[in-house]
Amino acid sequence: MVTQTRWSEALEREKSVTVVLPPSYTSHGKPFPVLYLLHSYGGNRRSWLNCPTLTACVTGHRMILVLPESGRYWLINDVAGRRYEDYLVRDVVRQVDGEFNTVASSAGRAVAGFSMGGATAVFQALRHPDLFSVAGSHSGAFEAPLRVGDPYAAHRADRRLMMPTVKDHERVWGPVGSAVRRTYDPGRLLAERDPKALLRVYADVGLNDHERMILMNRRMRNALITHTVDHVYGERAGGHDWQFVDAGLHQLFGFVQDAVDGA
């Protein structure tokens, strides 16, 4: 595992990225596919490292993992002018390909995440088919661009709740109808997608998650079907937490490995 701190042109400051190398990694010979893992709301680049199953997945698959971070901001270019999308798709990808033995093409790059990170992963794969050919999501918050008010108000007493307030949500997305919301609207992204672009999507959600989260994942599955995007969708036991993520890591890693090996 390597932590690198580099200057980000997009954010105009230094940012750290953690890179996890598989035991089989070498700096020469056959290049390695790369899986970018995006954390949930309020997380950081170390969040994924708390998953007990991650070590076994790294050992059992021939992939480099890249763990960027954005805290309580989505990896998008947001309403306040924070350019986290540019940071990911320009600065981080260029940094990783420049310093490691990677498959430096979309065929060898995947992006996946949990909740905020899961939705962002799919958004960025749709927006950048030249960079990513595989996307994965655990409990993706796909309808964040469409959110009105606070659909989680009744759950605010639970301190474990990982959902932003209206204020925190709108400081990233802007008010309803904003240009940022339109840019990342998943329906628009799918409708405008080049059908010839290679894309495979993995998505799942917990049956004990918030009802809104379950329904939006089902709607996303239906949209993927409508727009003939190659995908695997599943529902399994679990809530909106890292335990649910950890329980599904083998499925996610297997899907990604199969996709990049078969590209």
243 vs 241: CA distance, rounded Å: 5
Statement: the pTM of the whole predicted model exceeds 0.85 = yes
DSSP code of residue 89: I
pLDDT value of residue 4: 92
pLDDT value of residue 7: 96
- pLDDT tens digits, one per residue of 22-41: 999 999 999 999 999 999 99
pLDDT value of residue 48: 97
Return the number of other C-beta atoms located less than 10 Å from residue 173's C-beta.
22
Q: How confident is the model at residue 248 (pLDDT cuts 50, 70, 90)?
A: very high
pLDDT value of residue 154: 76
- pLDDT tens digits, one per residue of 81-118: 999 999 999 999 999 999 999 999 999 999 999 999 99
The domain made up of 2-261 has a fold known as: Rossmann fold (3.40.50)
Mean pLDDT of 136-143: 97
190 vs 217: CA distance, rounded Å: 15
Q: Closest Cα to residue 209, out of 253, 251, 247?
A: 247
Domain ranges, ordered by start, for the chain: 2-261
pLDDT value of residue 263: 59
- pLDDT tens digits, one per residue of 189-238: 999 999 999 999 999 999 999 999 999 999 999 999 999 999 999 999 99
In the predicted structure, residue 156 carries a pLDDT above the cut 80: no
Gyration radius of the chain's alpha carbons: 17
- pLDDT tens digits, one per residue of 158-183: 777 778 888 989 999 999 999 999 99
Q: Closest Cα to residue 73, out of 140, 160, 172, 149?
A: 172
